[in-house]
């Protein structure tokens, strides 16, 4: 079974019940709602539609709401600006007026305070480069370095500049409230810069009564600098290579990705590699060979999940993209992985019990692992250690936990009520796996459960052979 999970961004190309069903059949595990473009009415319609199609397909699918975050953008322009190297552009804030031929307002008033002469400004996903010449009276004068056409509401990146934006905007807070209302499973925090940003989102979710998990998106140099602190408080980390590739030197990007994936696996935090993975397939039926190699590298590093963005939200070949992810993942997983889990930090009796179970499963070539979990933690501990070949079948009585386990590496979760008799739970799990054809007679099952001794329960590892 494929262990690397697939995240699909939904949009006009894929939000119909038929397309949702096709994506699930092709191998999608998580659906992403991009709040940079998604209105609330659409969110309220698409979430129950996803849940309904998943039930029909008998599939376990999670939903991620990705906040827009505190992005710096240009304002509206009456006509686009055709810029050439050497041209002068002024960015204005706080209602300032410019006498320059080329000028545009910016939505972030603090830009004038954060930026300095000599800083590089990258506009429209890095397509237009500028250099700050001077700033005065809420106007920032820049020299254009690369040719390009500047349209309305274009994104601005400031490599190496620490901006004093809040972790969540007023729009983000409204979006999060709708996500909580609709019971989404994960919230992605865009432009997360330090651990306090994650803590601010967690406080907001707690205030709203949500138990959703938080995905910290690493998108700029400041976040890279403090990534270990961010990993320590986030539930999941995303290597968001779109903005990250603009904010950091491009030759550093593969190294940054590898370090983040390795750091997450080391401490047992799920990690997603995202953006531009099959970008050419937005318009083309086949990917480039370089894209296939990029996808293969993320799978070889044993990231928990790989993500599609425009490829599935607006692209012409969304189902093909998922199928290609699936094919590449299955093949690369058979060839082995980077082995970052060998450096995993194992602390406490529960994690050490799980480590013993994984070692046992690794010693049998066709073993499967069965984990009983109330809150999902035992299943995460197993995924943390990246079993060599055994899939991890997790059982929980909590549908919320089951959905959240759609993301971690190699975990396949289903809902099952628990008896007070652990032996009965094992029997029912075994029967459920046999019924679905997930195990066969003679398979070795490594079971992580508890045993009863009088009025006491003890965690245990059992080796069972399917009858």
pLDDT surpassing 90 at residue 451: no
pLDDT at residue 458, rounded to an integer: 77
Query: 134 exposed, middle or buried (CB, 10 Å; 0-12, 13-18, 19+)?
Result: exposed
pLDDT of 168-183, one tens digit each? Answer: 999 999 999 999 999 9
Q: Out of 74, 275, 373, 449, which one is annotated catalytic?
A: 275
Pairing status of strand 236-240 against strand 271-274: parallel
Distance CA 390, CA 365 (A): 8
Annotated catalytic residue 217 = yes
Annotated catalytic residue 275 = yes
pLDDT at residue 436, rounded to an integer: 94
- Backbone φ, ψ for residue 330 (5° rounding): -60, -40
pLDDT of 2-52, one tens digit each? Answer: 999 999 999 999 999 999 999 999 999 999 999 999 999 999 999 999 999
Q: How much is the mean pLDDT over the chain? A: 95
The segment(s) of the chain belonging to CATH 3.20.20.60 are: 5-70+167-333
Distance CA 147, CA 130 (A): 10
Looking at residues 209-224, what average pLDDT do you find? 96
Structure token digits, residue 166: 């809040």
Q: For residue 452, what pLDDT band results from cuts at 50, 70 and 90?
A: low
Among the ranges given (2-16, 184-198, 388-402, 441-455), the one the predictor scored with the smallest mean pLDDT: 441-455
Domain range 5-70+167-333, CATH architecture: Alpha-Beta Barrel (3.20)
H or E element that contains 216:
strand 213-218
- Describe the chain by its helix, strand, coil percentages, rounded to 5: 40, 25, 35
Q: How many residues does the chain have?
A: 467
Q: For 344, what's the count of Cα atoms within 13 Å in the CB-facing half-sphere?
A: 23
Q: Out of 5, 139, 141, 217, which one is annotated catalytic?
A: 217
Query: How many C-beta atoms lie closer than 10 Å to residue 39's C-beta?
Result: 11
Query: 151 exposed, middle or buried (CB, 10 Å; 0-12, 13-18, 19+)?
Result: middle
Distance CA 274, CA 307 (A): 5
What is 346-465's CATH superfamily?
Pyruvate kinase, C-terminal domain (3.40.1380.20)
Residue bearing the bigger pLDDT, 457 or 233:
233
pLDDT at residue 455, rounded to an integer: 73
Measured between alpha carbons, how far is residue 377 from residues 7, 372, 381, 383, 401 in Å?
Answer: 21, 10, 6, 10, 9
pLDDT of 53-85, one tens digit each? Answer: 999 999 999 999 999 999 899 999 999 999 999
Distance CA 111, CA 94 (A): 10
Distance CA 64, CA 245 (A): 23
The segment(s) of the chain belonging to CATH 2.40.33.10 are: 72-157
- CATH tag, 72-157: 2.40.33.10
Looking at residues 236-244, what average pLDDT do you find? 95
- CA 42, distance to chain mean position in Å, is 21
pLDDT surpassing 80 at residue 454: no
pLDDT at residue 421, rounded to an integer: 87
The segment(s) of the chain belonging to CATH 3.40.1380.20 are: 346-465
Q: Out of 32, 154, 213, 241, which one is annotated catalytic?
A: 32
Annotated catalytic residue 73 = yes
Distance CA 237, CA 261 (A): 9
Annotated catalytic residue 32 = yes
Q: For residue 114, what pLDDT band results from cuts at 50, 70 and 90?
A: very high
pLDDT of 259-302, one tens digit each? Answer: 999 999 999 999 999 999 999 999 999 999 999 999 999 999 99
Looking at residues 394-415, what average pLDDT do you find? 97
What single-letter DSSP state applies at residue 294? H
Q: For residue 420, what pLDDT band results from cuts at 50, 70 and 90?
A: confident
pLDDT surpassing 80 at residue 457: no
H or E element that contains 309:
none
Among the ranges given (162-176, 220-234, 444-458), the one the predictor scored with the smallest mean pLDDT: 444-458
Q: Out of 73, 266, 330, 350, which one is annotated catalytic?
A: 73
**Region for residue 384 given its phi and psi (left: phi exceeds 0; alpha: psi -120 to 50; beta: otherwise):** alpha
pLDDT of 316-327, one tens digit each? Answer: 999 999 999 999
Distance CA 307, CA 299 (A): 11
């Amino acid at each position: 079974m494929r262990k690397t999970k697939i995240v699909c961004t939904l949009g006009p190309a894929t939000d119909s019940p038929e397309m949702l069903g096709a994506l699930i059949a092709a191998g999608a595990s998580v659906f992403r709602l991009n709040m940079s473009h998604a209105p609330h009415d659409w969110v309220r319609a698409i979430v129950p539609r996803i849940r309904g199609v998943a039930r029909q397909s008998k599939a376990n699918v999670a939903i991620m709401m990705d906040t827009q975050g505190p992005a710096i953008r240009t304002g509206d322009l009456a006509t686009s600006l055709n810029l050439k190297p050497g041209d002068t552009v002024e960015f204005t804030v706080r209602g300032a007026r410019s006498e320059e031929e080329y000028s545009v307002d910016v939505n972030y008033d603090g830009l004038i305070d954060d930026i300095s002469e000599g800083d590089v400004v990258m506009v429209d996903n890095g397509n237009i480069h500028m250099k700050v010449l001077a700033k005065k009276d809420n106007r920032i004068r820049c020299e254009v370095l690369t040719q390009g056409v500047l349209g309305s509401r274009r994104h601005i990146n400031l490599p190496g500049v620490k901006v004093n934006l809040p972790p969540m905007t007023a729009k983000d807070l409204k979006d999060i409230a709708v996500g909580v209302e609709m019971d989404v499973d994960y919230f992605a925090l865009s432009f997360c810069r330090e651990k306090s940003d994650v803590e601010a989102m967690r406080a907001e979710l707690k205030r709203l009564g949500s138990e959703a998990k938080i995905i910290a998106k690493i998108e700029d140099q400041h976040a890279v600098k403090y990534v270990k602190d961010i990993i320590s408080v986030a539930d999941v980390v995303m290597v968001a290579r779109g903005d990250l590739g603009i904010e950091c030197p491009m030759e550093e990007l593969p190294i940054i990705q590898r370090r983040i994936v390795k750091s997450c696996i080391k401490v047992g935090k799920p990690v997603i590699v995202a953006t531009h993975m099959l970008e050419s397939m937005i318009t083309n039926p086949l990917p480039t060979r370089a894209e296939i190699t990029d996808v293969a590298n993320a799978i070889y590093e044993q990231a928990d999940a790989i993500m599609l963005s425009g490829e599935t939200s607006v692209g012409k070949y969304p189902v093909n993209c998922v199928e290609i992810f699936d094919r590449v993942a299955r093949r690369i997983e058979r060839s082995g992985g980077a082995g970052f889990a060998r450096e995993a930090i194992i602390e406490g009796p529960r994690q050490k019990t799980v480590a013993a179970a994984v070692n046992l499963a690794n010693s049998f070539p066709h073993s499967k692992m069965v984990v009983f979990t109330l809150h999902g933690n035992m299943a995460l501990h197993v995924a943390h250690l990246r079993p060599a070949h055994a899939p991890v079948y997790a059982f929980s009585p909590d549908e919320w936990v089951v959905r959240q386990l759609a993301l971690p590496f190699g975990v396949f979760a289903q809902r099952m009520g628990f008896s007070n008799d652990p032996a009965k739970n094992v029997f029912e799990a075994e029967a459920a796996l046999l019924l679905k054809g997930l195990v066969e007679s003679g398979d070795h099952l490594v079971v992580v459960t508890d045993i009863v001794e009088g009025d006491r329960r003890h965690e245990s590892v059992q080796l069972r052979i399917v009858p």
